[in-house]
């Protein structure tokens, strides 16, 4: 499967990774090579086979719906690139 | 006692209990060895103060006569594990400066048992790679060389720093993680033992996530007994990981009897690849003969979907990675790009991720985004998950037919040179995991055991695959193979 430059641009946008225009053709080439490799899966007869959701046949454990933790504002914000007045700070989102 | 760094966990445990040495002495010997081993690029964050303090506490505990097996054992910790107050970057620029406010379950359990942390170990960025060449810290280097050739070789990946550090005796053992072979391939490349447990045996809580349905942490050690001892402390049910299994944990070390009489070992014909080096072929048949001599029944088996494991993996792992790595957005932790006048939040995301992620991580996140995008989800992602079901069924069929374990080569070659694969397309690098990736897709336990040297003097490993949750049995077969193979070679020190 051949990926064109426009598709590469769209995927980069969806992934929120800035890719310069002059890098797009090379990226599209790499995607094409990887997708060609993946295309082998089309040889497999998967008719009637369920997609795997869990590798071990177990129900996910549930816990009681109670508060187990809290009051950790300082710890939560400790690693933020920009934290102000108890909040994460980001560029203006709403005009 | 000389050369304390060369001790196994079992030897150190016994010597400390007898009073022949102390954790403080072994820890200091390791710290000195690490100081002199910068050329290996194995340790990327050093924590001598923590190590010295933990060793003192361990020594006091050993004196009381009631210390767990891992008490006082100096370890290296892969950079993927969150360690409280200590940089934990997954070898990525995007987590630069990140110091977790919490401790991963695995490291908590190790430290509660008295283990000592020497520092954090190099790895491929976000565990994506098979050569440790995608790390933001630079390469980790294999302590082994080809004869007298001083070309630097890869220690494998992604747990390359762990492999290098254990093989070079910088620590007694190390933690690793394995998503497609990241414990077993590097272990094979440096001549040590590496165990990937059954999916769910070890808690993933506090380990930076790559592909959550495949990731599993495990021990990387100098021998099989040490893997048994270390796994014991690493594993067990954890309410903080909903996929962690609430199952009893057997005594793994006690299972090492060396008696495998009557066990059935399967030899899968699909693992005999075209162009496989003759030495690997020979290693495999020698290993088969050793297990037969030990009383095992050898059975030819077929795992018909083996060739589709890698392509399925390269849909599923990037898909999960694209989702897991969405959290690196420059808001809550790690790197945030400097913004230009007028840049909004979208530019912040895009620039931050372009600057913070290396090329391989970007590639995989984008591939994952593509296979999950509208219109392609069924054709790629769902198809890969169906193939994964078939791969697991292959194993279930042979286990139901009475096979107890499966013997395969660990890797398709010995360690290659750093930089040798730079010009190859990414697929060539992915092929490194051809023998190991099936095990992750099927959620099984697998162990790599050093079994011989190639004609250039580099170590080669064999892989044993076990039934789910039967690590104890698997370790015993590995222990038997280890005894028969008698691998004792060590790299000649050049660093």
> Which tens digits make up the pLDDT trace of A61-88?
788 999 988 999 999 999 999 999 999 9
With CA atoms as reference, report the closest residue to B111 among B164, B75, B147, B149.
Answer: B75
**What number is the average pLDDT over the span B214-221?**
98
Q: Tell me what the pLDDT averaged over chain B comes to.
A: 97
Question: Rounded to an integer, what distance in angstroms lies between the CA atom of residue B133 and that of residue B129?
Answer: 7
Test A56 with B443 for CB contact under 8 angstroms.
Answer: yes
Q: What is the pLDDT of residues A13-69, one digit of tens each?
A: 999 999 999 999 999 999 999 999 999 999 999 999 999 999 988 777 788 999 988
Burial of B452 (0-12, 13-18, 19+ CB in 10 A): buried
Nearest C-alpha in A relative to B365: A15
pLDDT of residue B109: 98
Please give the residue range of the domain that contains residue A9.
5-42
Give kind and range of the element (H or E) at residue B160.
helix B160-167
Mutation target to probe the B interface, by most B beta carbons within 10 A, among A6, A14, A34, A64 is: A34
Number of domains into which chain A is organized: 1
Q: Does residue A34 belong to any structural domain of this protein?
A: yes
Q: Does residue A63 belong to any structural domain of this protein?
A: no
Number of Cβ within 10 Å of residue B493's Cβ equals 11
The single residue listed with the structure tokens 């494991």 is B309
A16 CB within 8 Å of a chain B CB: yes
Residues from chain A that touch B344, judged by Cβ atoms under 8 A, are 91-93
**What number is the average pLDDT over the span B71-78?**
98
Residues from chain A that touch B339, judged by Cβ atoms under 8 A, are 91
Q: Which of B85-89, B124-128, B430-434 has the lowest mean pLDDT?
A: B430-434
A26 CB within 8 Å of a chain B CB: no
Mutation target to probe the A interface, by most A beta carbons within 10 A, among B386, B393, B446 is: B386
Does the pLDDT of residue B2 top 80, yes or no? Answer: no
**What number is the average pLDDT over the span B437-457?**
97
> Distance from B227 to chain A by nearest Cα, in Å?
23
User: What contacts A2, CB < 8 A, 6 or more positions away?
Assistant: A32
Q: What is the pLDDT of residues B6-57, one digit of tens each?
A: 999 999 999 999 999 999 999 999 999 999 999 999 999 999 999 999 999 9
Q: Does residue A16 belong to any structural domain of this protein?
A: yes
Test B246 with A61 for CB contact under 8 angstroms.
Answer: yes
pLDDT of residue A94: 77
Share of chain B above pLDDT 90, in %: 96
Domains of chain B, CATH where assigned: 4-258 (3.90.1300.10)
Q: What is the pLDDT of residues B158-214, one digit of tens each?
A: 999 999 999 999 999 999 999 999 999 999 999 999 999 999 999 999 999 999 999
Burial of B247 (0-12, 13-18, 19+ CB in 10 A): middle
Does the pLDDT of residue B1 top 60, yes or no? Answer: no
Residues from chain B that touch A16, judged by Cβ atoms under 8 A, are 326, 329, 346, 349-350, 353
Q: Does residue A75 belong to any structural domain of this protein?
A: no
Test B333 with A63 for CB contact under 8 angstroms.
Answer: no
Test B392 with A30 for CB contact under 8 angstroms.
Answer: no
> Distance from B358 to chain A by nearest Cα, in Å?
11
- Exposure string for A51-76, b = 16+ CB within 10 A, e = fewer: ebeebeeeeeeeeeeeeeeeeeeeee
Test A52 with B351 for CB contact under 8 angstroms.
Answer: no
Test A15 with B353 for CB contact under 8 angstroms.
Answer: yes
pLDDT of residue A1: 66
Q: Does residue A57 belong to any structural domain of this protein?
A: no
Residues of B with a known catalytic role:
78, 158, 182
Q: Does residue A33 belong to any structural domain of this protein?
A: yes
Test A79 with B101 for CB contact under 8 angstroms.
Answer: yes
Q: Does residue A64 belong to any structural domain of this protein?
A: no
The single residue listed with the structure tokens 């990946």 is B157
Please count the helices (runs of H) and the strands (runs of E) in chain B: 15, 11
CB pairs < 8 Å spanning A and B: 167
Q: Does residue A14 belong to any structural domain of this protein?
A: yes
Does the pLDDT of residue B430 top 90, yes or no? Answer: no
- Cite the DSSP H helix spans in B357-470: 359-372, 383-400, 426-430, 437-441
Test B353 with A42 for CB contact under 8 angstroms.
Answer: no
Nearest C-alpha in A relative to B238: A61
Nearest C-alpha in A relative to B388: A52
Residues 62-81 of A with CB under 8 A from B: 63, 72, 75-76, 78-81
Nearest residue, CB atoms, A55 vs list B384, B426, B442: B442
């Amino acid at each position: 499967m051949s990926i064109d430059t426009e598709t590469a641009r769209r995927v980069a946008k969806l992934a929120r990774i800035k890719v310069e225009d002059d890098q797009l053709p090379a990226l599209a080439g790499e995607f094409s090579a990887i997708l060609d490799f993946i295309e082998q899966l089309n040889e497999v007869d998967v008719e009637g086979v369920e997609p795997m959701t869990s590798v071990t046949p177990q129900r996910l454990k549930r816990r009681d719906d109670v508060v187990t933790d809290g009051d950790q504002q300082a710890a939560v914000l400790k690693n933020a690139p920009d934290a102000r007045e108890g909040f994460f700070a980001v560029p203006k989102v709403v005009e | 006692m000389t050369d304390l760094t060369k001790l196994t966990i079992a030897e150190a445990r016994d010597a400390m209990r007898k009073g022949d040495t102390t954790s403080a002495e072994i820890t200091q010997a390791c710290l000195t060895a690490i100081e002199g081993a910068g050329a290996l690029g194995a340790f990327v964050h050093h924590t001598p103060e923590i190590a010295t303090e933990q060793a003192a506490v361990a020594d006091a505990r050993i004196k009381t006569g009631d210390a767990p097996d891992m008490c006082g054992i100096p370890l290296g910790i892969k950079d993927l594990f969150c360690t409280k107050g200590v940089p934990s970057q997954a070898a990525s620029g995007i987590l630069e400066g990140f110091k977790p406010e919490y401790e991963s379950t695995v490291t908590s359990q190790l430290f509660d048992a008295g283990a000592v942390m020497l520092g954090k170990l190099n790895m491929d960025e976000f565990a994506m790679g098979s050569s440790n060449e995608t790390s933001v810290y630079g390469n980790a280097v294999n302590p082994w060389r080809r004869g007298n050739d001083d070309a630097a070789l890869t220690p494998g990946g992604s747990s390359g720093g762990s492999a290098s550090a254990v093989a070079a005796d910088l620590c007694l053992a190390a933690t690793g993680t394995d998503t497609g072979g990241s414990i077993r391939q590097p272990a094979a490349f440096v001549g040590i033992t590496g165990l990937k447990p059954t999916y769910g045996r070890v808690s993933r809580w506090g380990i930076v996530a790559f592909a959550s349905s495949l990731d599993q942490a495990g021990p990387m050690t100098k021998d099989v007994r040490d893997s048994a001892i270390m796994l014991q402390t690493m594993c067990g049910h954890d309410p903080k990981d909903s996929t962690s299994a609430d199952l009893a944990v057997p005594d793994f070390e006690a299972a090492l009897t060396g008696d495998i009489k009557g066990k059935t070992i399967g030899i899968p014909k699909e693992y005999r690849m075209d162009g496989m080096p003759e030495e690997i072929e020979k290693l495999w048949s020698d290993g088969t003969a050793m297990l037969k001599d030990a009383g095992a029944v050898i059975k030819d088996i077929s795992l018909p979907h083996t060739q589709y494991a890698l392509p399925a993996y390269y849909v599923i792992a990037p898909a999960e990675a694209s989702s897991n790595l969405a959290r690196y957005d420059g808001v809550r932790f790690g790197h945030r790009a400097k913004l230009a006048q007028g840049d909004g939040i979208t530019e912040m995301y895009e620039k931050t991720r372009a600057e913070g992620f290396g090329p391989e991580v970007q590639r995989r996140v984008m591939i994952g985004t593509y296979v999950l995008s509208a219109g392609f989800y069924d054709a790629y992602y769902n198809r890969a998950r169906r193939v994964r079901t078939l791969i697991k069924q292959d194993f279930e069929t042979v286990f139901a037919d009475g096979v107890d374990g499966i013997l395969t080569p660990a890797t398709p070659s010995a360690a290659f040179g750093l930089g040798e694969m730079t010009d190859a397309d990414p697929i060539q690098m992915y092929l490194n995991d051809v023998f190991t990736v099936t095990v992750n897709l099927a959620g099984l336990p697998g162990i790599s055991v050093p079994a011989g040297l190639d004609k250039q003097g580099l170590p080669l490993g064999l892989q044993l695959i076990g039934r789910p949750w039967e690590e104890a049995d698997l370790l015993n077969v590995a222990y038997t193979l280890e005894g028969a193979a008698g691998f004792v070679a060590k790299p000649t020190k050049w660093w």
